[in-house]
Structure 1
Amino acid sequence: MAFDFFQPLEDDFLEFVNGLSNQSLGKKVVFHSSTDFPNVEKAAIAIIGVLEDRGLGFGNVAPDLTHFRKEFYSMYPGNWHANIVDLGNIVPGNSLEDTYYVLKVAVTELIKNKVIPVVIGGSQDLTYAMYRAYDQLEQMVNVVAIDSKFDFAKEAGLPANSYLSKMVVEEPNNLFNYSNIGYQTYYNSQEEIDLIEKMYFDAYRLGEVSKNSAIAEPVFRDADLVTLDLNAVKSCDSGNFVNFMPNGFDGKEICVLSRYSGISDKVTSFGIFNHRYTESESVLISQVLWYFIEGYHYRSNEYPYGSKEDYLRYIVPLEDEELIFYKSDKTERWWIEVPFLTNINNKIKRSTLLPCTYEDYLGATNHEIPERWWKAQKKNLI
C-alpha cells in the first residue's frame, strides 16, 4: 500500500488535540494514530509531513513538525465543509530516492482519489517526487514555484537547488510549463534567466508581485502543482534566522498567494518546503496553509473548456491576429483563447483557454499582445 511507510502521530500530540476547544480545527480533522488510519477516499485534503532534509545538506537540525501541527490545529476553521485528514509523517528512507518513491506513490494515490495532498516539510527537491507522481496520471503538468531562485543550479550534493533541472531533462518529460513567482535577480545567474526565457517559461520578479499580487492569480489558475520555498519570505516575517533573508514576500503577501493556489480549480497538489523547524516559522506555515484551505472552499468549479454559455466573448482585432477573450459571468475572471495544433503533420487546429487578467484585455485593445499568450503560442510550435 502507498501509505505503509507513514509514521503515525505521537500519542502526546493527540492528547494535545484532545485538550483543544471543540471549535478548533484540530477537532475537525481525522488523524493517523497508532491504532487508526484515516479513510482517504472520503477526504478532500490530506496533510503529509516529510521529515527529509538531505536535499539541502543540513544535518544540524532535527526535523520536527510538532510545533507546526500544534499551531495549525489550535486555529479555528472558516466556514469549511471539506473533510481533512492528517496522514502523519514520511520518515527518511535509506536513500533520498527511497523517500522520493514513497512520496510519489502516495501523491499519485491521493490525486487518483481526487484528494489534494498538502506536503509540509523537508527540502524543496521533494517537489520532484510530487511532479513524478503525475507520471501515472498521463497528463502534462504545469508547475508554479513561489521561490527566490529558479533551482536550475548543478551544485553537487544539493538536489534542493537543482530539482528543476531534473524535471526539464529527465524522461518521461511531462512538464508543459514552469512559472516562478517572486524570483530575486541577484540569486539567479544570467544563464538561468536566459534559459527561462528560451524555454518560454513564466517568471515574475519579487517587486512585480509585491506591487500587484493580482498579476499572479491567472498563473495559479493554470497550475497543477504549486511548490513554496519558505526562503521566498523575508526573515523578519517568517522567523527563519537559520537562513537569513532580508528581502522577500511579507506574511500578508504569501498568504494571498497561498489563497490563489487554493482557489484554483486546477491545482491538485501543494507543497511547503525548506522549513527550518523554528516555532516562529511554524506560525507562518500554519497561516499559509489556513489560507490555502480557505481558498479551496471558494473554488468556483468553472472550467471554460466545456459550455461557454456562461461567458461573455470579446474579440479584439489586431493587424495580423484576432484575440478572443472570455469573461466569466460567475466570477468576472478572464481567459484568452490560444490556438494550437493537435496533430503537427496534419495541422489540425484546436484551441484552449489560458487564464489572464482584465489588464491583458485592456492591453490588447491598445495593440499589446499578452506575454503569456505569446509564450503559450511559441510552446505549441516547439
Structure 2
Amino acid sequence: MNFSFLSPISNTVLEIIQDLSVHAIGSKIRIHSEKSGLPDLNGVSVAVIGVLEQRNSSNSDVDLHFDNVRKSFYSLFPGSWNTTIADLGDLKPGETVEDTYFALKETLSVLISKKIIPIILGGSQDLTYANYRAYDALMPMVNVVNVDSNFDLGDASKPISDKSFVGKIILDEPYNLFNYATIGYQTYFNSQEEIDLVKKLYFEAYRLGDVSNNIRLVEPVMRDANLVTVDLNAVKASEVSLSQQVSPNGFDGKEICAIARYAGISNKLSSFGIYNYKVSVNDSATSMLLAQTLWYFVEGLNGRVEDDDFSKDKNFQKFITLVEDQELIFYKSLITNRWWVEIPFLSTVNNKLKKHALLPCALQDYKDACSNIIPERWYKAFQKNSI
C-alpha cells in the first residue's frame, strides 16, 4: 500500500509515550514514526490520520497540528476492545487545496478497500468532499451524515469552502449521493432557502433541541451511514477552549460522545471525520474532548453486532402494516431488537438503489405505522426512489 502522502507524527508526541502506562492506548497503538516508518497494517481495523489542510476555513491563519489531541488520546485507557489501532501520521497541505483532496482521496480509498476504518482529524470540513470521492470506485451510492449546526449547502456557483462542500457533493459527477442527513442543525444559522432545499431533496434534518431531548433519534440515521463528518463548531462554547468557541448553544460533551458511539456501532459506516479543530495555547479541554470522542467511536466499533441477515427466519420477526393503502413491511432483529422497514422499488432501471431496500428505523416508526401515520424516514426514502 502506497501512503507516500503521509508524514510521521512529531517527536513531541513520541516523547510522552515513554511515560505512559503499559495499559494506555499510546502503549498499544501502532505508530508512524520517523525512525520506524509506517506501521504494519496487517490486522489493523482503525487508522487515525491528521490532515493539516485549512485553507478553505475561516481559521486558516493559525498553524494546525494535532499533537495535543494525540497526547490526550494516547493517555486514555482502552475498553474491552479487540480493535487494533494505527496512527498513520499527518497529511500535509498540497501545493493547492485540490492537491490535498487528491492525496486524501487516494489514501482513504486504499484504507476503506482494505476494510480499515479511517478516522480523519481535520482542519476545514470541506475535506469531507475528498472523503466522499474516495468511495467513487468502491460503491454505487453513499449515505452521508453531517453532525453540524449548518447544512453546509452553500452557493454552488462560488468556490468550495467548509460551509459549501455539501453543495459540491450534490452537484458534482459522478452522482453517488443517495442520502444526506444533518444532526443538530440550528435554524438561525441556516437560511430559509437552504431549509426548503433540504426538504425538496428529501434529505433528513434533525434540530439540536430534538436530538438533545432524545439522543436515540441518532441511532437509525447512523446505522444507515457510510460516512460521518463532525463539525466541532456544533459543540457549545462552554465545552471547549476559548479559540474553539462559536456558539453558546450546541451539543455538550456527553452528547457528542454518544453520537460518536452510535456512529461506531453502525455496521455500514466505513469512515469517520472530525473537523474545524482550532489550536490554541490553552486547548486542553478541546483536545481531551476530541480524544474522548475518538474513544467512544472505537468503543462503538467494538460493540458492532451483525444483526441484518434476514435470510434466516430465526434471526428476525416480520410485521406488515397498512398505511393509507400502502403496505409497510417491518423487520425486527431478535438479536438486538433493532428495526428496519422495507422500501419498495419503483424503478427496475436504477440498479444503484438496490442496496437500499431495507431502511433502518426505530420502534416508534412501527408504532406510527400501526396508528396510520407514515414514518418520515420511510416517506423520504420512498420519494427518492420514485425520482
TM-score by length of 1: 0.96
Equivalent position to 1:223, from 222, 225, 241 = 225
Unaligned runs of 5+ in 2: none
Identity %: 49
Deviation at 1:63, TM superposition (A): 0.3
CA contact (8 A) 1:339 1:350 kept: no
For residues 142-181 of structure 1, the aligned pairs below 5 Å read 142-154=143-155, 156=158, 159-181=161-183
CA contact (8 A) 1:2 1:105 kept: no
Could you say if the C-alpha distance between residues 319 and 95 of structure 1 is closer, same or farther in structure 2, counting changes exceeding 3 Å?
closer
Structure 1 window deviating more from structure 2 (85-94 vs 134-143): it is 134-143
Could you say if the C-alpha distance between residues 157 and 51 of structure 1 is closer, same or farther in structure 2, counting changes exceeding 3 Å?
same
Could you say if the C-alpha distance between residues 12 and 238 of structure 1 is closer, same or farther in structure 2, counting changes exceeding 3 Å?
closer
- Write the distance in 1 (CA, Å) between the matches of 2:125 and 2:110: 21
CA contact (8 A) 1:57 1:158 kept: no
Query: Per-residue CA shift, 1:353-373, capped at 9, x if unaligned?
Result: 111111111111111110010
Could you say if the C-alpha distance between residues 308 and 102 of structure 1 is closer, same or farther in structure 2, counting changes exceeding 3 Å?
farther
Deviation at 1:315, TM superposition (A): 1.3
Deviation at 1:9, TM superposition (A): 1.2
- Write the distance in 2 (CA, Å) between the matches of 1:305 and 1:381: 25
Q: Give the structure 2 partner of residue 19 of structure 1.
A: 19
CA contact (8 A) 1:364 1:370 kept: yes
Query: Per-residue CA shift, 1:295-343, capped at 9, x if unaligned?
Result: 0000002224544530111111234111111111111111111111452
CA RMSD of aligned residues (A): 1.9
Q: Give the structure 2 partner of residue 28 of structure 1.
A: 28
Give the residue type in structure 2 aligned to 1:332. Answer: N
Query: Per-residue CA shift, 1:77-104, capped at 9, x if unaligned?
Result: 0001111000000011100011111110
Give the residue type in structure 2 aligned to 1:309. Answer: K
Equivalent position to 1:318, from 306, 320, 323 = 323
Query: Per-residue CA shift, 1:117-163, capped at 9, x if unaligned?
Result: 00012100000000000011132000000000011113956611100
Q: Does 1:360 align with 2:365?
A: yes
CA contact (8 A) 1:49 1:120 kept: yes
Q: Give the structure 2 partner of residue 289 of structure 1.
A: 294
- Write the distance in 2 (CA, Å) between the matches of 1:136 and 1:349: 17
Could you say if the C-alpha distance between residues 81 and 116 of structure 1 is closer, same or farther in structure 2, counting changes exceeding 3 Å?
same
CA contact (8 A) 1:71 1:286 kept: yes
For residues 102-251 of structure 1, the aligned pairs below 5 Å read 102-154=103-155, 156=158, 159-251=161-253
- Write the distance in 1 (CA, Å) between the matches of 2:6 and 2:67: 16
Give the residue type in structure 1 aligned to 2:179. Answer: N
Deviation at 1:242, TM superposition (A): 4.3
Structure 1 window deviating more from structure 2 (248-257 vs 307-316): it is 307-316
Q: Give the structure 2 partner of residue 58 of structure 1.
A: 59
Structure 1 window deviating more from structure 2 (319-328 vs 169-178): it is 319-328
- Write the distance in 2 (CA, Å) between the matches of 1:90 and 1:240: 26
Equivalent position to 1:332, from 328, 337, 349 = 337
- Write the distance in 2 (CA, Å) between the matches of 1:48 and 1:305: 36
- Write the distance in 2 (CA, Å) between the matches of 1:345 and 1:24: 49
- Write the distance in 2 (CA, Å) between the matches of 1:306 and 1:41: 32
SS at match of 2:264: helix
Unaligned runs of 5+ in 1: none
The runs of at least 4 consecutive aligned structure 1 residues that moved more than 3 Å come to 155-158, 240-243, 304-309, 348-351
Aligned length: 381
Deviation at 1:41, TM superposition (A): 3.8
TM-score by length of 2: 0.94
